[in-house]
Amino acid sequence: MDHERRTPLLDWMFDPEYRRHLNQATREVPLLHAMYLLCIPLGKALVWARCSPTTITHISNLLAACSVAALAWAPNPWLFPLLWLAALCFDIADGIVARSTGTASASGSFYDHMSDQLKVVALFCGAGLRYDTSAVWLLCYATCASFLFMSVVNQVRALRGLRLATRSTGTIPDAGVADAPRSGGARARLKSFLQGRPRLKKALLGVFVMYGNSMLLVLPLGFGESWALATLVFFWFVTLRSILSSLAAASRVNRQLTLSGIPWK
């Protein structure tokens, strides 16, 4: 009986119709999947309030600007994480609303993604302003530069991957020995270990690979210089790891373009 009473409430909070619009990449990363599920009630409320996805993105950007200001100048360290979490929830909700109401658009997606890049850069500048030490500023610069470089690599890879998908007329030739994994080394052993433990692999993806949930990694920035330095170093490590992964994927796409005789630009 209790189960029968709880099910309608759970179905209302985590509406199956809304869950249907989550893409496969989101479902495969447990932490990211949990974040999207928790934002479904917010998305439903915003649909009920007839907020457009662009309006929701505006709200997210405003909250992010307030959180950066709180990080830079507010004496209360808890103000920044609260505002940043609110901004992150609205950032997720705009996509949920756009997909569930059929109002997704190329211009809206562009605005959302470009504002996300600006949020991250402004965030680390806020950390630099709060502590104003050489170590923090140096790590802020390195992290911002790496993050923006990763974004450029991902965009180029996506564009060339699209060209490959649309221009290829047959089966893409095998890239050969260059794509074969190495038989030895710590990286190969770790890969082999994780392949036999898919749940552990998915959990690690949520921490050490750059996804939307990576924005949770910045929450300790306001709790002292030591926390800020540790956060910046870890975020930089995750960004560099994602850059290497993106460069490897871009290299495979470039090789397939060459083997298929497709112009790369």
Among 61, 33, 194, smallest CA distance to 120 is for: 61
Q: Which helix (H) or strand (E) holds 249?
A: helix 225-259
Task: Tell me the C-alpha distance between 219 and 176, whole Å.
Answer: 44
- As its CATH architecture, domain 2-259 has Up-down Bundle (1.20)
Do 215 and 31 contact (CB within 8 A), yes or no? Answer: no
For helices 2-13 and 30-48, what crossing angle results, to 10°? 80
Q: For the whole model, what pTM was predicted?
A: 0.79
pLDDT at 145: 92
Q: Which residue has the tokens 């104003």?
A: 132
- Domains of the chain by residue range: 2-259
Q: Which residue has the tokens 């926390």?
A: 227
Per-residue pLDDT, averaged over 235-244, amounts to 88
- Encode pLDDT of 213-231 as tens digits: 778 889 999 999 999 999 9
- Encode pLDDT of 92-131 as tens digits: 888 888 888 888 888 888 888 888 889 989 999 999 999 9
- Encode pLDDT of 156-175 as tens digits: 888 888 777 776 544 444 33
Among 106, 124, 115, 127, smallest CA distance to 59 is for: 115
Among 138, 130, 140, 59, smallest CA distance to 92 is for: 59
How many helices, marked H, and strands, marked E, lie in the chain? 11, 0
Burial of 161 (0-12, 13-18, 19+ CB in 10 A): middle
